[in-house]
Amino acid sequence: MARMTLDESEFREDAGRMWWLFLITGIAWLWIALIVLRLNLETVYAISILFGFVAIGAGVNELMAIPMSTRGWKIARGILGVICIAAGIVAFFRPEGTFVALASIVAWLLLFLGIFNVIAAIMAHGMPLWWLTLIIGLVEIGLAFWAAGYFRGSAIILVAWVAAVALLRGVTEILMAFRIRGARKQLHAATV
């Protein structure tokens, strides 16, 4: 195992103190998923606006996580954050678009989120619950392909996809919170 420099251990200690932030955002995402499923949305316009907010929220969430990431993950989180925000903006500019257009935007966002989670899981192999992040990523990729190929125009399915984005995001954030908390405990044990 490589020895950690003082700067690296201080960085990890600072990032470890913020584990609760991921827990709060994860709970907020689960709350948003529940609200999305409770809303009575029947028009593409309303669903598009809702999706825009969810996508921008996911992007801002990724950008907020950049300071607590290592250099390679900072770049990945920055790219994913920009993609999410761009998807949200596109949904705002074309809210009257067709089901096909919104399903396509949702599909691309789910694909990028899924790929990111699969890579994160592979990188975290050996850490507790790494496999759960892998399953979430694979589910997101599967939903992306389903959304990309579904053109029947069902508002209920679109709402379910938006809720799925929020739900999977919430679970991912909660997993991240406890993973960071566990790493912080290991760091304390190693330094004592």
Residue bearing tokens 């909660």: 174
CB 37 within 8 A of CB 63: no
Q: Rounded CA gap, 124 and 34, in Å?
A: 29
pTM: predicted TM-score of the whole model, two decimal places: 0.73
Helices 71-93 and 99-123: crossing angle, nearest 10°?
Answer: 170
Residues 19-54 pLDDT 10s: 888 899 899 999 989 988 888 777 777 788 888 888
Residue bearing tokens 């392909």: 145
Domain positions in the chain are 43-181
Residue bearing tokens 């801002």: 60
Encoded amino acid at 106, one letter: V
Residues 117-138 pLDDT 10s: 999 899 888 877 889 989 999 9
